[in-house]
Each structure stands twice: as C-alpha cells, then as structure tokens.
Chain A
Amino acid sequence: MSESKWSLKRIIELYDQIISQPHRTEIARELRDEDDLFMLLLFSEMVGIPNPVFYYTLELYPVMLEKFHDWHLRMGMEKSPLSGIRCC
C-alpha cells in the first residue's frame, strides 16, 4: 500500500516537473536579467556612471568577482571591459 502511494506521488511529482520545466527556465532568466542590471549598478563607477554609494558597493567586489566573467560574456563583451579585473 505504502509502495503504491509512493509511486503515485512520484508520478505526480514527475508530471509537475514536466509542466513547470519551461516556466522555471523563464523565471530563472527574468531573475538573471534583474541580477545583471543590479550588477551594472554595482559596477557603474568603473564603467563611467557616477555611483553615490560606490564606497559601499566596493565591499561587495569579492562576492561579485566570481560572477563577473559570466556577466560580461552575457553582456556581449568577450573580454573583461575593466582593466582592474582580469578574469580573461
């Protein structure tokens, strides 16, 4: 009994995953777009846009550096646009 209950649950889970798969991708894409914009705001000083909170965003650099390479690739720049960050 418990085995068949588990199976039914598994089937429903699988079915749920199938129908939600494309949606999950789109939501991840939307969130990534928002993140990309946020990244631009954080790095704005280095690309020539004045940033009043530059001092604070500077502290985030160690965290952001890991994501920086993928970000500039997505933005259509094959090489790092910032001479200070030599990721590639």
Chain B
Amino acid sequence: MSGIILAVIGMVVFALGYRYYSKFIAEKIYRLDPTYQTPAHKFKDGVDFVPTNKFVLWGHHFTSVAGAAPIVGPAIAVYWGWLPAFLWVVLGTVFAAGVHDFGALVLSVRNKGQSVGTIAHKLIGRRAKLLFLFIILLLVLMVNAVFAWVIANLFIKFPASVLSVFIQIPLAIWIGYWVYKKQGNMLLPSLAALATMYLAAIVASYVEPLQIDLIGYFGGEGSTVMGMTATSMAFFVWIIILMIYVYIASTLPVWKLLQPRDYINSHQLVVGLLILYLGLLFSNPTISAPATNTEADVPWFPLLFITIACGAISGFHGLVSSGTSSKQLDKETDARFVGYLGAVGEGTLALVAIIATVTFFGSTADFTAVYSSFGAASSEGLGVFVQGAAKLATGLAIPPEVASTIVSVIIVSFAATTLDTSVRLMRYIISEIGSEYNVNSLGNKHVATTIAVVSSAALVLIPEGPKGFGSGGYLLWPLFGTSNQLLAGITLLLVSFWLRNQGRNYAPTMIPMIFLLFMTLWAMTSQVFGKWNVFGGSEPSGLLFTFGSIIWIFAIWILIEALILFNKKDKELPTD
C-alpha cells in the first residue's frame, strides 16, 4: 500500500473530526459564547494578557507543543505494525487530544486564565498542588534524560549534523541581542540563520573533517568510559557536553537564547513538515512494514498507549493551553480553532513520522530484522525515522546524505530546545517544592539548576542491566509517556468536573480520562509487578521498578482524587 493513502485517510479523519466532532463539543458540551469577555480583554496588560488573532495564536500554540516527542513515540511504536500506531494517533487525536487541549483552554478561560495546576489547587487543595508538582517533576526529569539520550545518539549516528546545531547557538544569541537591544525585525535574520545552518549541514555532509565524529576521536566504538562495559566514550562525552550547555542555557534570560532558538526552530518545523509531506507526495513510497506484528515480544495492549503520548494525547499540551494560550484568546469561540487544531497539528506530525518509518525499508523482512524486539525498536526507531525522512526528501531531489543531516539537525534542534525548557522548568519546580517545605537554599537559581542537571545526567548515565552506562535513556521512554498521560488525566478530570457542575454531558472528557488512567494503571501494573519487579520479576530492573512504582502510586492517587471529587456534591468549581 502507498504511504500517500495512509496520509490521506489520516487527514480526512482529522478534517472530519474538526468539522463535526469539535463543532459538537464546542456547541453542545463546552457551549462557547462569542460574547464572553475573555481574560485577554478582562485583564489586558500588554504582557501576558493580550488579545491575539486566532491564526497567530494557533501558530504559536502549535509551535510550542510540537517537538521531537511526536516523532520518537511513533518511530518506536511501529514495532507492533503500522496499523495500531496509525489508529491510535488518528483516533487519539480526534477523540482524546483535541478534546483535552480544547478543554484545558476553555476551562482556563472560564477561570481567569489560570493554569490547570492552580485550578487543581483551588479545587482539591494543597494535596493536588503537590501531586501536580511531583508529576511534572517526574515528567521533566524523564524528558531531560530521554532527550539528552536522543541528542547524543543522533550526534553519534549523524556526525555531520553537529556543526549546524552548534552554529545555531551563536546565531540565536546574536538575533536575541539584535531584537532586544536594537528593536530589529526577527524574520529576516532568523531566515538568514536558518540558511547558514543548512548550508553548514550541506557542506558538512560532504566534507568529512567538518563532521564531529567523537567515536573516531576516541578510538572507535570499543573505547569505553574507564574501561567499563558498554557505554562508549563518545556517548559519555556528549552527555557531559550537553549537560554543561543546558546548565548555561537554562540559567540565561529566555530572550537571550531560548526564544531566538525557538523562532529559528519554528521555521524548521515548517521546513520539516513541507519536506516530509511534499516528499511523500512526489516519491509515493510503499509501506514495507507489516500491518500488525504477530510475533511481538511485548504486548501492544496496553503498551502502545503509553509509547505514543505526544501525537495521540499529551498532558504537556494542557500546560501550554492553560498557561499561555488561554491568556491570549481574543474570543471564546476561537478556542476550538486554537485548541483542537493545535492537537490536530501535532497529530499530522506523528502521522508523517509513522509513514516515514514504515516506508523506509525495502521489504518486510528488512523491517523485522531491525525491529526485532521492543528493545531494538526503542533504540533504533529514531535512527530509522531520520533515514526514512531522508528517503522521502529524495522525492524533492535532495541528496540522501544531505537530507539525513538536515532531518537530524531539525530533530536535535527540537530536542535541544525541549531540554533547555525542561531543565528550566525543573529548576522552577525544585524551587517551588523548596518553598513548600521551607528549604530556602532551593530557591537559589544555581543550586536548583545544579540539582536538575546532575539528577538528569545521573538518570541518563545510570548503569542499567547488561548494557551498562547510558542505556537508561530509551528504556525510560514508555515511563515518560505514562507520566505525560497522567498529567492529561488530571486535566480531563478537572474539565469533566467543571462540565458536571454545569449540568452538562461530561462523557466526551470523562471517557478519555478513564481510558488513559486504565491503560496507564494496566501497563504499569503488568510491567512493574510482573516484569521489572526486583523481587522476582521476569526482567528485574531497579531503575524501572522504582520509577514505575512511583508512577503507579500517582495513578492510584489520581483515581482516588477523582472518586473523592465526584462524590463531593457541594464542592464548587470557581468558575464564572
């Protein structure tokens, strides 16, 4: 079957979902009111609360939520065949992610533009605030470990991409300075920066001395850290370099590096989507992966639902919806366009990630040789996506070696910005927890950042199983997906509660919430107690057992909160 057919089916379902389902949700469930005075107008301050054109807000919302995660998850999940991953991405986006992102936006708009965390605090109390803080702490810790692992591995696999990624840093700082001090326009300089990066990528693809190949520098793949098994010196050194970078980047003011990088990356998102979809159209590749994998070593049900989080439903979107977008919504009716279509945008990215991965191989046998086990899929998936995307790009007459470098640059840029943001977020959360428990030293920027960076580095470098140092990164991926789903579960719980208090049908938000909690609990129970159990599991693992148990406890906690909340008839949600 042609990859184009898959894309067309996916797009048609997305379009129908937006046209009919989101319309139903907007009119019958959330009951959007075009005359409602949104927080952007009510609290207009020119900084956070600014009424914004819906197209601009959608673009901003989409670029904030789209990153490397909707690519990594699907690239791993196609291990169970393309069909389960495809169905979960398409149906998850339409029935879960769209409703969730849209709901978080409406709930926040109806609550003075407050974030989901603050609303949970008001509704459930300090307990909810702590639950929220700890889940986000866990989430960002795993994001740090997973994305550091992703970047280090892409740098090792595609050394030609290193130069471009490092060129982006001084260019971004310069643009930040130019805009801040000189009040310059950012469009042209950021396009020039992008052109410089891609030029460097093209040159480095052909000129070997420009490829920063640490494996070669440290004497081949066999070179390990102090003679310890498995982790190559190259991986170790990349992680150390990344952690030093991220320490500096996350302590700088955001306008100096993070945001200028973000708008170069916005161009990259557009370039990436164009290359992939146009390449798909022109090259018309055939799907070589099987529709379902009948010989999987781990069951797709329920693990698929935690392997693909971003791209099907992601709690992180709720933070963006309620944290920034809700404060800028011009009219309440714009929420459908911004929230629902924001989720659809991410769905299209996940969809093309599936297509690029499943069309890469020449035959089904080649596919199954690489995707031989779930472990192999987890470690190789992203590399396959990069090569698959490069193959699609050849449809636009881009040479494969240049295409793989550019795709790798795009993913590393996304992952690096996510890493930067997430270490920064972790620093804030550590400070917040410090102030909750009166540990004043945690309020210090450098103390909190040091804790964030050292714990993230420890997690990614932790010796785990026979693979030794550094195998922690990809093993954590499903756990990252799980904590992301839990966050989405809390948001859906709050939205459902709000709907119930308004006397409306809350099934469209309650069903995805129950589904998510059920899948998370099921997956964690089977993995934690059956597989990773250090007291007699089939594949005992201290690291996964510890983190899995924490997530399991959080999931139970949310379930209990949900039951308490729905039994309290008199509790009022502070809505207007």
Q: Contact residues of A with B, CB < 8 Å?
A: 12, 14-23, 25-30, 32, 70
- The CA-CA distance from A26 to B47 in the complex, in Å, is 8
Closest chain A residue, CB of each to CB of B57: A21
Residue among B46, B253, B267 making CB contact with A19, cutoff 8 Å: B267
List, in ascending order, chain A residues with CB within 8 A of B45's CB.
70
Taking A16-B186, A18-B56, A20-B263 as given, write out 10 further A-B residue pairs in contact, using a Cβ cutoff of 8 Å, ordered by the A residue number. Answer: A14-B53, A14-B59, A15-B187, A17-B56, A17-B59, A18-B55, A18-B60, A20-B186, A22-B262, A70-B45
* A18 in contact with B48 (CB, 8 Å): no
List, in ascending order, chain A residues with CB within 8 A of B57's CB.
21
* A23 in contact with B52 (CB, 8 Å): no
Q: Is B174 an interface residue (CB 8 A)?
A: no
Q: Mark B57-77, 1 if CB is under 8 A from A, else 0.
A: 101100110000000000000
* A19 in contact with B47 (CB, 8 Å): no
* Contact A23-B59, Cβ < 8 Å, known A28-B47, A70-B45: no
What secondary structure prevails in chain B residues at the interface with A? helix
The smallest beta-carbon distance between B152 and chain A, in angstroms, is: 28
Report B179-196 residues with CB < 8 Å from chain A CB. Answer: 179-180, 185-187, 190
Q: Is B224 an interface residue (CB 8 A)?
A: no
Across chains A and B, the number of contacting residue pairs, with CB separation under 8 Å, is 67
Closest chain B residue, CB of each to CB of A11: B55
Residue among A15, A18, A23, A28 making CB contact with B46, cutoff 8 Å: A28
The smallest beta-carbon distance between B143 and chain A, in angstroms, is: 19
Closest chain B residue, CB of each to CB of A12: B187
Point out which of B46, B47, B60, B185 has the most chain A C-beta atoms below 10 A from its C-beta: B47
Q: Is B281 an interface residue (CB 8 A)?
A: no
Residue among A16, A21, A28, A30 making CB contact with B187, cutoff 8 Å: A16
The smallest beta-carbon distance between A41 and chain B, in angstroms, is: 21
* B56 in contact with A22 (CB, 8 Å): no
Q: Is B266 an interface residue (CB 8 A)?
A: yes
Q: Mark B173-215, 1 if CB is under 8 A from A, else 0.
A: 0000001100001110010000000000000000000000000
* A32 in contact with B186 (CB, 8 Å): no
List, in ascending order, chain A residues with CB within 8 A of B63's CB.
18-19
Closest chain B residue, CB of each to CB of A28: B47
List, in ascending order, chain B residues with CB within 8 A of A19's CB.
59, 63, 186-187, 190, 262-263, 266-267
List, in ascending order, chain B residues with CB within 8 A of A70's CB.
45
List, in ascending order, chain B residues with CB within 8 A of A14's CB.
53, 55-56, 59
* Contact A23-B47, Cβ < 8 Å, known A16-B187, A18-B63: no
